[in-house]
Amino acid sequence: MSHRDQTLVTVATYNEMDNLPRLVDEIHGALPDAHILVVDDNSPDGTGRWCDARAADDPRLHCLHREGKLGLGTAIVAAMRWAVEHGYRCMLNMDADFSHHPRYLRDLVAGMDPDGGPAVDVMIGSRYVPGGRVEGWPLHRRLMSRAVNLYARCLLGLKPKDCSGAYRCYRVETLARVDFDAIRSRGYSFQEEILWHLGRAGARMGETPITFADRQHGSSKINSAEAFGAIWIIFLLGLRKLRGR
Ligand SMILES: Nc1nc2c(ncn2[C@@H]2O[C@H](COP(=O)(O)OP(=O)(O)OP(=O)(O)O)[C@@H](O)[C@H]2O)c(=O)[nH]1
Ligand SMILES: [Mg+2]
């Protein structure tokens, strides 16, 4: 099956019943023709069951179920494989918790083919370009995010200002050039790692400003083991880059 002119919006979920029903409506408010793929890791709060029931009434909604919580990075890889297999034009990924507001969806899609400019392969919803902002984060979280971005940009030579956010639109034919089996990240460093692989595949990257809002409903899935794991993986990728591999 091919959806060559269509956009797929992908949302990984783990216990997002407080957010997903409203998010699905708002995504379709912004992009009525888009398909939505939810990748749910057997959420105990029933997010996956809700999604199946809703998908039975709406052919634009799809749900991929995994047996347990396997990490955000692997959920996005599963969504990328699905987008490639089904032949969508663009894949737009966002978090479920409204940190990534659907009001920016159209800017991200429009940025893929800018008027008079070259086409873009990855459009990033960016907190760190002029006009971008973070709302509701305490100072230590702002500093951590800035530090991780600086670290990844220096070590991996990434050009975008915001390399750690998940709110992005990818050209699916460019994703198809990435060897997903080579991706090491299970959790947070996935965002930097996929940019690194795409950069090596010759992808052009752009950024459009967003205001990132802290989660209002539901609970955080972040943990310090994942955060340290992410720093370690970026370091290993940096070593590979130094060795020219
Ligand atoms: N399928 C799946 N989704 C996940 C997993 N971990 C996180 N998510 C989803 O990924 C998105 C981002 O996770 P968040 O918990 O918001 O992570 P965060 O934004 O760093 O942290 P807070 O917003 O502060 O809680 C949300 O939509 C989560 O439901 C996972 O292991 N599997
Ligand atoms: Mg969040």
Max distance between CA atoms of the chain, in angstroms, equals: 52
Average pLDDT over residues 235-244: 86
Q: What is the pTM of this model?
A: 0.95
Q: Which of 87, 127, 93 is nearest to 5 (CA)?
A: 87
Cross-strand pairs, 135: 213
Residue 54 has pLDDT above 90, yes or no: yes
Distance 240 CA to ligand 2 centre (A): 30
**Which residue has a Cα nearest atom 9 of ligand 1?**
13
* Contact 193 CB / ligand 1 (< 6 Å): no
**Which residue has a Cα nearest atom 28 of ligand 1?**
13
Q: Which of 151, 159, 137 is nearest to 207 (CA)?
A: 159
Mutation choice for ligand 1 from 141, 189, 221, 226, CB with most ligand atoms inside 8 A: 221
Distance 181 CA to ligand 1 centre (A): 22
Residue 69 has pLDDT above 80, yes or no: yes
DSSP 168: E
Query: What is the residue-averaged pLDDT of the chain?
Result: 94
Q: How many helices and strands, by DSSP H and E, does the chain display?
A: 8, 9
Domain that holds residue 140: 3-242
For the chain, how many structural domains are there in total? 1
pLDDT tens track for 175-219: 999 999 999 888 889 999 999 999 999 999 999 999 999 988 887
Distance 178 CA to ligand 2 centre (A): 26
Residue % of the chain over a pLDDT of 70 = 98
Atom of ligand 1 nearest to the CA of 215: 23
* Contact 212 CB / ligand 1 (< 6 Å): no
List C-alpha distances in Å: 82 to 13, 158, 171, 176, 203.
Answer: 16, 26, 13, 11, 20
Residue 88 has pLDDT above 90, yes or no: yes
Residue list, CB under 5 A from ion ligand 2 = 95, 97, 99, 215
pLDDT tens track for 135-148: 999 998 899 899 99
State the pLDDT at residue 218: 81
Cα 212 to Cα 168: distance, rounded to the nearest angstrom: 13
CATH of the domain at 175: 3.90.550.10
